[in-house]
Structure 1
Amino acid sequence: MSFGLFCKTILNRTELKGVPKLRGVQSFSYATDSCSAKRKTHPIDESAKAIRHLQFTRRLPFEKGLEIQEQFSKAQLDIKELHAKIRRRLAKLQEENVNMTINDSERQIIDNILSMKPNPIVLTFEFDPTYTGGKRIKKTMTPEQIAQFESFVPSRDSSDARPKFVQVERGGQITYHGPGQMVAYVIMDLKSFDNFPARCFVSGLEDSVISTLKNLKVGDGQQALDIDAKLTEETGVWTVDNKKIASLGIHVRRSVTSHGVSINVNPDLSYMTSFEMCGLPGVLPTSVEKQRPDVVLNVQDVAVKFVNELAKTLGVSTVERMQLDDMDLKA
Structure 2
Amino acid sequence: MTDASISHLQVLDWGLLIYDDALKLQEALVSERIAELSPDRLILVEHPPVVTIGRSGSLDDLRESEEAINRKGASVFHVDRGGMATFHGPGQLVAYPIVKLQTKDLRLYLQMLLETVAAVLRSYGLASEFRGRNPGVWAGAAKIASVGVACRRWVTYHGIALNVNADLRWFESINPCGDPDGKVTSMERELGQSVDMAEVKDRFTRAFCRIFGYATPPEVRQRPTERPSWLVLSPSCTESIDRMESVLSWLRLSTVCQSARCPNLGECFARGTATFMILGTICTRTCRFCAVDKGKPDAVDGGEPERIAQAVQLLRLKHAVITSVTRDDLPDGGAEHFVRTVEKVRECCPDVSVEVLVPDFRGSLKALQRICDIRPDVFNHNVETVKRLYPIVRPKARYQRSLGILEYAGKHGLIVKSGIMLGLGETEQEILEAITDLRRTGCSFLTLGQYLAPSKEHFPVSRYVSPAEFEEWAQIARSEGFKKVAAGPLVRSSYRAGEMVCSMRQPLKSYQSKG
- Give the TM interval when normalised to the shorter protein: 0.5 to 0.7
- 2:113 is matched with which residue? 205
Query: How far did residue 150 of structure 1 move?
Result: 1.8
- 1:310 corresponding residue in structure 2: 208
Task: State the AA in 1 paired with 2:25.
Answer: I
More helix by share: 2
1:44 alignment counterpart: 3
- SS of alignment partner, residue 136 of structure 1: coil
Partners of 1:306 and 1:273 in 2: how far apart?
27
Instruction: Confirm whether residue 248 of structure 1 aligns to residue 147 of structure 2.
Output: yes
Match of 1:235 in 2: 135
Task: Show structure 1 runs of 4+ deviating over 6 A.
Answer: 139-142
- Runs of 5+ in structure 2 lacking a partner? 226-423, 425-452, 454-458, 462-515
Query: Partners of 2:60 and 2:90 in 1: how far apart?
Result: 27
Q: Distance in 2 between matches of 1:273 and 1:140?
A: 14
Kept in 2, the 8 Å contact 1:273–1:285? The answer is no
Per the alignment, in what secondary structure is the counterpart of residue 316 of structure 1? coil
Deviations 1:20-45 (A, max 9, x none): xxxxxxxxxxxxxxxxxxxxx4x325
- Maintained 8 Å contact 1:129/1:163: yes
Matches within 5 A, 1:67-216: 67-77=24-34, 79=35, 118-137=38-57, 145-152=65-72, 162-191=73-102, 195-215=103-123
Deviation, structure 1 residue 323: 2.0
Matches within 5 A, 1:28-67: 41=1, 43-46=2-5, 48-57=6-15, 59-67=16-24
Whether the 8 Å contact between 1:133 and 1:166 is mirrored in structure 2 is yes
Which of 122, 125, 129 is the matching residue for 1:226?
125
CA distance, structure 2, for counterparts of residue 61 and residue 150 of structure 1: 14
Q: Is 2:198 aligned against 1:300?
A: yes
- Provide the C-alpha distance between the structure 1 equivalents of 2:165 and 2:460, rounded to a whole number of angstroms: 33
What is the rounded CA distance, in whole Å, between the counterparts of 1:260 and 1:168 in structure 2?
A: 12
- 1:280 maps onto 2:239 in alignment: no
Q: TM-score by structure 1 length?
A: 0.64
| TM-score of the aligned structures, taking structure 2 as reference length | 0.42
**1:209-243 Cα deviation digits (max 9, x unpaired):** 0001111xxxxxxxxx111111112200000x210
Q: List per-residue Cα deviations over 1:52-106 (Å, max 9, x = no partner).
A: 101123x2211111111111012122x1xxxxxxxxxxxxxxxxxxxxxxxxxxx
Separation in 2 of the partners of 1:196 and 1:256? Answer: 10
For residues 37 and 141 of structure 2, the distance between their equivalents in structure 1, rounded to whole angstroms, comes to 41
Q: Does 2:168 match 1:269?
A: yes
Identity in percent: 27
Provide the alpha-carbon RMSD of the alignment. Answer: 2.1
Instruction: Supply the AA of the counterpart residue of 1:279.
Output: G
CA distance in 2, matches of 1:68, 1:299: 22
Which whole-Å CA distance do the structure 1 matches of 2:148 and 2:162 have between them?
12
CA distance, structure 1, for counterparts of residue 51 and residue 198 of structure 2: 21
Shift of 1:141: 8.0
DSSP 3-state at the match of 2:223: strand
User: How far has the Cα of 1:307 moved from its partner?
Assistant: 1.8
* 2:222 counterpart residue number: 323
Contact kept? 1:273, 1:284, Cα under 8 Å: no
Q: Say if 1:140 and 1:266 are closer, same or farther in 2 by CA, change over 3 A.
A: closer
Equivalent pair of 2:116/2:204 in contact (CA under 8 Å)? yes
**Amino acid corresponding to residue 323 of structure 1 in structure 2:** Q
Question: What whole-Å deviation, never above 9, does each CA across 1:239-292 have from its counterpart, x for those lacking one?
Answer: 0x2100000000011111000000000111010122211111211100010000
Give the letter aligned to residue 136 of structure 1.
S
Q: For each residue in 1:156-187, what CA deviation from the matched residue of structure 2 results, as whole angstroms up to 9, or x when unmatched?
A: xxxxxx11111211111111000110011110
Letter in structure 2 aligned against 1:325:
P
Query: How much does 1:146 deviate?
Result: 2.1
State the shift of 1:324 in Å: 2.1
CA distance in 1 between partners of 2:143 and 2:31 (Å): 32
Give the number of aligned pairs. 227
Unmatched 5+ stretches in structure 1: 1-40, 80-115, 153-161, 216-224
Return the offset for 1:330.
5.4
